[in-house]
Chain A
Amino acid sequence: MARVVVDVMLKPEILDPQGQAILGACGRLGFTGVSDVRQGKRFEVEVDGEVDDARLAELRKLAETVLSNPVIEDFELRVE
């Protein structure tokens, strides 16, 4: 068993109104010094057996075709 974590974030040039709303709340709640918030998604993918290169390539494909939309999002993938 191995765990592969995929973090998906909106591309920097894409407006993130959810992050903006959180940023606004930070100010109201007195969390000073917070200058920006971007909200993303984290996927924890459990896989059977070892994560070899072939499996990793397959998971990368999953990340770029299903877990993220490359038109608006970037992803980072790591094995934990």
Chain B
Amino acid sequence: MTARVGVVTFPGSLDDSDAARAVRIVGARPVSLWHDHADLHGVDAVILPGGFSYGDYLRCGAIARFAPVMTELVPAAESGALPVLGICNGFQILCESHLLPGALTRNRSLHFVNREQRLRVESASTAWTGEYAPGQEIVAVLKSGEGNYVAAPETLEELEREGRVVARYVGGSPNGSQRDIAGVSNEHGNVVGLMPHPEHAVDELTGPSTDGVGFFTSVLAHLGAPVPTPSG
């Protein structure tokens, strides 16, 4: 079976083509999903890509949360059935939708951060990280102005206790995120939000590494689809 992975395009999404390309690179079929259609077209998993949905007006992700496609996505994600990966703006949308706890606020420095970023994958028990070893360090691209992860102290404790901190920044937080958190998951592990961009790290020619491939092969393994063996 070839897995079908939906990539949602909102007005202002930027990284939908790169997300689709990453899906293609691991041998799955990307399916374009449009924000205005309340239809997931039977996809096996969904990626909410980076960008500036609805111009980031009001708050990042706040308007995208109410898009028709989300009325289909939210219950399927909440039930634990549908794997969903929110990258950057997608992470913000997942927080605004209350599919993930906490919120992403203005970088502490006020500067837009654009760099190659080392991360530590803390949890390999999510739908999107099963192909990594816990504690494995990877390099991906961080490019965001509002990536400062905040949550109530009791929420942070719960995330730590339940192993739901998926990734942390190595070498200190570049944006002020509490506990250097770069990504978290929901209680089922099917919904993951990540501030850095694994889809920009899937090809030596265009990215700093190919470390991001694991997110996409992980979901294929989770779905029971064929996973390509690393070449070279």
Which residues from chain A sit less than 8 Å from chain B, CB to CB? 10, 14-15, 17-18, 21, 66-67, 69, 71-72
Of B62, B106, B176, which contacts A18 at CB under 8 A? B106
Of B66, B101, B106, B151, which contacts A17 at CB under 8 A? B106
A39 — nearest CB in chain B belongs to which residue? B106
A71 with B95: in contact, given A14-B150, A66-B58 (CB under 8 Å)?
A: yes
- Min CB distance A17 to B, Å, is 5
- Are the C-beta atoms of A71 and B151 separated by less than 8 Å? yes
A–B Cβ pairs within 8 angstroms, 11 of them: A15-B105, A15-B176, A17-B106, A17-B107, A17-B108, A18-B106, A18-B110, A21-B110, A69-B59, A69-B103, A71-B101
B101 — nearest CB in chain A belongs to which residue? A71
- Min CB distance A37 to B, Å, is 14
Interface residues of B toward A: which range? 20 to 34
How would you classify the secondary structure of chain B's contact residues: helix, strand, loop or mixed?
Answer: loop
- Min CB distance B111 to A, Å, is 10
Of A17, A66, A69, A72, which contacts B109 at CB under 8 A? A17
A72 with B58: in contact, given A14-B150, A15-B176 (CB under 8 Å)?
A: no
- Are the C-beta atoms of A67 and B58 separated by less than 8 Å? yes
Q: Which residues of A contact B109 (CB under 8 A)?
A: 17
- Min CB distance A68 to B, Å, is 9
Q: Which residues of A contact B152 (CB under 8 A)?
A: 71
B102 at the interface (CB under 8 A from A): yes
Of B58, B66, B102, which contacts A71 at CB under 8 A? B102
Q: Which residues of A contact B176 (CB under 8 A)?
A: 15, 17
* CA A10 to CA B150, docked complex, whole Å: 12
* CA A34 to CA B101, docked complex, whole Å: 35
Of A18, A21, A71, which contacts B103 at CB under 8 A? A71
B96 at the interface (CB under 8 A from A): yes
Q: Which residues of B contact A72 (CB under 8 A)?
A: 103, 105, 150
* CA A17 to CA B62, docked complex, whole Å: 20
* CA A28 to CA B103, docked complex, whole Å: 32
* CA A10 to CA B176, docked complex, whole Å: 16
